Chains A and B, each alone.
Chain A
Amino acid sequence: MSSIEFRKELFADERDDTLKEIGKPTIRQDILGHVTGRTPFYDDHQFDGMLHMRAVRSPHHHAEIRSIDTSAAEGMPGVRRVATARDVPNNLNTLLSLINFGRDDEPLCAHDKVRYMGETVAWVIADTERQARDACAVVRVDYNVLPHVLDAEEAIAPNAPVVNDIYPNNTFDYHEKYDHQKLRFGDVNAAFATADHIVEAEYQMSPIEQAPIETCGAIAAPETNDRYVCHTNTQALFFSLGTTAKLLDTASSRLHFIGGTAGGGFGGKVDSIVEPTAVLGAMLTGKPVRFAWDREEEMQVGAPRGGERWRIKDGVMGDGRIVAREFTGFFDSGAYMRLSPYAIIKGTGHLPGPYSIPNVASNVYCCVTNRTPATAMRGFGITGVDFAIECHMDRVAEAVGMHPVELRILNAYRDGDMKAHRRLAKNTALIECCQVAADKAGWAISPDAAAQSSKAGGGTPARAAIPETVTDEDGRIGERRTGRVPSTSPATQGSGRMAAGTMKKSPVSGAPVQNPDMQIDADRIGHKMGATPVDKPSTPAAPVPATAIPPSPTPPPAAPIPPAPPSPPAAAAPTLSSPTPSPEPQPYQPDKPFSRGLKRPGTSRFTSGFRRR
Chain B
Amino acid sequence: MAKTPVTFMLNDAETGVFVDPGANLNEVLRRNAGDLTTKHGCGQGTCGACTVLINGVPHLSCLTLAETVEGKRIDTTAGLAGGPELHPLQTAFMEGFAAQCGFCTAGMLMAAKALLDQTPNPTRDEVIEAISGNLCRCTGYEPIVDAILTAAARMQQRAV
Asked if the two chains touch in their complex, CB atoms less than 8 Å apart, one says yes
Q: Are B47 and A213 in contact (CB under 8 A)?
A: yes
Closest chain B CB from A39 CB (angstroms)? 5
CB-nearest residue of chain A relative to B110? A37
Please state if B103 and A214 are interface contacts (CB–CB under 8 Å). yes
Q: Which residue of B lies closest to A77 (CB)?
A: B1
Chain B residue nearest in CB terms to A263: B103
Q: Is B150 an interface residue (CB 8 A)?
A: yes
Report chain A residues within 8 Å CB of B86.
Answer: 35-36
Taking A35-B105, A37-B38 as contacts, is the C-beta distance between A295 and B43 under 8 angstroms? yes
A264 within 8 A of B: yes
Q: Is the CB of B97 within 8 A of A579?
A: yes
Q: Report which of A37, A41, A212 forms a contact with B76, defined as CB distance below 8 A.
A: A37
How many residues belonging to B are interface residues under a CB distance threshold of 8 Å? 51
9-residue interface stretch from A23-31, A365-373, A502-510, A585-593:
A23-31
- Determine if A37 and B78 form an interchain contact, defined as CB atoms under 8 angstroms apart: yes
Q: With A34-B105, A46-B31 given, is the CB distance from A41 to B97 under 8 Å? A: no
With known contacts A32-B94, A264-B137, A579–B147 Cβ distance under 8 A: yes
Are B135 and A36 within 8 A (Cβ)? no
A27 CB contact (under 8 Å) in B36, B41, B95, B101: B95
B104→A213 contact, CB < 8 A: yes
| Residues in chain B near residue A266, CB distance under 8 A | 137
B36 touches A46 (CB 8 A): yes
Spot the interface stretch: B53-61, B63-71, B138-146: B138-146
Q: How many residues of A contact B (CB 8 A)?
A: 38
Q: Does B149 contact A (CB under 8 A)?
A: yes
Closest approach, in angstroms, between the C-beta of A321 and any C-beta of chain B? 38
Residues 19 to 60 of chain B near chain A (Cβ within 8 Å): 20, 22, 30-31, 36-44, 46-47, 49
Specify which chain A residues have a CB less than 8 angstroms from the CB of B138 in the assembled complex. Answer: 264
State how many angstroms separate the Cβ of B126 from the closest Cβ of chain A.
16
Within 8 Å by CB of B150, from A37, A39, A215, A577, lies A577
Q: Are A36 and B77 in contact (CB under 8 A)?
A: yes
Give A213 to B81 CA distance when docked, in angstroms.
24
**Is B20 within 8 A of A577, CB to CB?**
no
Structural contact, A36 and B90, CB atoms closer than 8 A:
yes
In the complex the two chains form, is B46's CB within 8 Å of A295's CB? Answer: yes
- B96 partner residues in chain A, CB cutoff 8 A: 576, 579
Task: Say whether B102 contacts A30, CB under 8 Å.
Answer: yes
Q: Are B42 and A37 in contact (CB under 8 A)?
A: no
Interface centre among A44, A212, A213, A266 (most CB of B within 10 A): A213
1/0 per residue, CB under 8 A from B, across A33-56: the answer is 111111101011010000000000
How far, in angstroms, from A44 to B1 measured CA to CA in the complex? 26
Task: Determine if B142 and A262 form an interchain contact, defined as CB atoms under 8 angstroms apart.
Answer: no
Picked from B77, B101, B146, the residue with its CB within 8 Å of the CB of A37 is B77
Query: Is B101's CB under 8 angstroms from A35's CB?
Result: no
Does B37 contact A577, Cβ atoms closer than 8 Å?
no
Max count, chain B CB within 10 A of own CB: residue among A31, A577, A581: A31
Is the CB–CB distance between B90 and A212 below 8 Å?
Answer: no
B78, B106, B135, B136: residue with the most chain A Cβ atoms closer than 10 Å: B106
Distance of B153 from chain A, by nearest CB (Å): 9
CB of A576 within 8 A of CB of B143, answer yes
> Which residues in A have their C-beta under 8 angstroms from that of B104?
213
Known: A27-B95, A213-B41, A213-B136. A262 touches B36 (CB 8 A): no
Residues of B within 8 A of A43 (CB): 30, 40
Chain A positions 155-186 with a Cβ under 8 Å from a chain B Cβ: none
Which one of A32, A212, A579 lies within 8 Å of B101 (CB-CB)? A212
Minimum CB–CB distance for A499 against chain B, Å: 50
Q: How far is the CA of A39 from the CA of B103 in the complex (A)?
A: 9
Contacts of A27 in B (CB 8 A): 94-95, 97
Q: Residue B131 at the A interface, CB < 8 A?
A: no
Q: Would you list which residues of chain B between 106 and 160 have a CB under 8 Å from chain A?
A: 106, 109, 135-138, 142-143, 146-147, 149-150
Set of chain A residues within 8 Å of B43, measured between Cβ atoms: 294-295
Q: How far is the CA of A485 from the CA of B40 in the complex (A)?
A: 52
Residues of A within 8 A of B81 (CB): 36
A579 touches B36 (CB 8 A): no
Determine if A580 is an interface residue (Cβ-Cβ < 8 Å): yes
Contact (Cβ within 8 A) A35 B109: yes
Most buried by B among A27, A31, A35, A36: A35
Q: Contact mask A242-272 → B, CB, 8 Å, 1/0?
A: 0000000000000000000011111000000
25 A-B contacts (beta carbon < 8 Å): A28-B94, A34-B99, A35-B90, A35-B109, A36-B80, A36-B86, A37-B37, A37-B78, A44-B36, A46-B36, A211-B137, A213-B41, A213-B47, A213-B49, A213-B136, A264-B100, A264-B137, A265-B101, A295-B41, A295-B46, A295-B47, A576-B96, A576-B143, A577-B150, A579-B96
Task: Given contacts A35-B77, A579-B147, list 8 more A-B pairs with CB under 8 A.
Answer: A28-B99, A35-B89, A37-B37, A43-B30, A214-B103, A215-B42, A264-B103, A295-B47
B-binding residues in A (CB < 8 A)? 1-2, 27-28, 30-39, 41, 43-44, 46, 77, 128, 130, 211-215, 262-266, 294-295, 576-577, 579-581
Q: Nearest 9 pairs between A and B by C-beta?
A: A37-B37, A263-B103, A34-B102, A579-B96, A37-B77, A295-B42, A35-B90, A37-B106, A579-B95
